[in-house]
Amino acid sequence: MTADEVAADVLAALEALTVEDVWETTGAACFFAIEPAQAADLLVERVLLPYETQLRQAARAGRDAEADAILEGVLRALHTFEHASQAPFRAWVLNLEATYKPRFQRARAGKP
């Protein structure tokens, strides 16, 4: 996968998240409901986790070009979503780049 393909996939997945997804994830009908902001973070985490896993696997296996493409694509998608998205879900998440950039950089470096 190229960085452009990764960025497009991640951005599409983030753009597909809805405010209704946040409310469903809060578990408002359950005893253990969570705050909407936490639910939004959990939804973003679900989108990004497979890419983080792929990045770690590629980095460990020495597939540097693949790892670099994943890292660049994810960071580009986060930047675009944070600064240009018009999706209503965007209002529920803050500081995506600041939160995930160091984490993905550590994954690229093979660190926990």
Q: Of 43, 44, 41, 68, whose CA–CA distance to 54 is shortest?
A: 68
Judge whether residue 26 has pLDDT over 70.
no
The answer to whether the Cα torsion of 20, 24, 26, 27 is positive or negative is positive
DSSP track, 59-100: HHTT-HHHHHHHHHHHHHHHHHHHHH---GGGGG---HHHHH
Token pair, residue 52, equals: 């983080």
pLDDT 10s digits, 43-84:
999 999 999 999 999 999 999 999 999 999 999 999 999 999
Number of domains composing the chain: 1
d(CA 34, CA 10): 25
The answer to whether the Cα torsion of 21, 77, 57, 111 is positive or negative is negative
Element (H, E) at 33: none
| Better-predicted residue by pLDDT, 21 or 68 | 68
What's the chain's average pLDDT?
90
Residue span of the structural domain in which 52 resides: 3-108
- The 8-class DSSP code of residue 30 comes to S
Rounded mean pLDDT, 27-44 = 72
